[in-house]
Amino acid sequence: MKAIKKLIFENNFKLWLADSRLLAHVTFEDQQWIMKEVIPLLLKSQLQKVARVVNADVFSYITFENMMSKAHENYNVEGHMEQFTSIDAALSWLRMND
């Protein structure tokens, strides 16, 4: 976590591509940790867009979407987060001007 924090804040990243294709599904414990530790950290950063690349696993996709909905309910989330099944699609979205 310290490495991610240092990387994001020292470089003032505005865009982030997370290749999560090799990760297992997001467990309940993972969701709790993300909501408690990661989301508040990211909200303090300059991050504007996060593209998450995943396998075509509906359960994992929906679990993460539900977690992001909870994040929007609990925090003042101004950035955008989307999930994709290919790096090319994720990169195209990240490069789009909003």
Q: How many residues does the chain have?
A: 98
Q: Is the pLDDT of residue 76 over 90?
A: no
* Integer Cα distance of 68 and 65 in angstroms: 5
Tally of domains within the chain: 1
Mean pLDDT across the stretch 52-79?
Answer: 88
pLDDT at position 87:
97
Q: Is the pLDDT of residue 78 over 70?
A: yes
SS3 per residue for the chain? CHHHHHHHHHHCCCEEEEECCCCCCCCHHHHHHHHHHHHHHHHCCCCCEEEEECCCCHHHHHHHHHHHHHHHHHCCCCCEEEEECCHHHHHHHHHCCC
End-to-end CA distance of the chain: 29
Q: Which residue did the predictor score with more confidence, 3 or 48?
A: 48
Torsion, Cα 22 25 26 28, to 10 degrees, reads -150
pLDDT at position 2:
81
Q: Which residue did the predictor score with more confidence, 12 or 87?
A: 87
Range of the domain at 39: 2-95
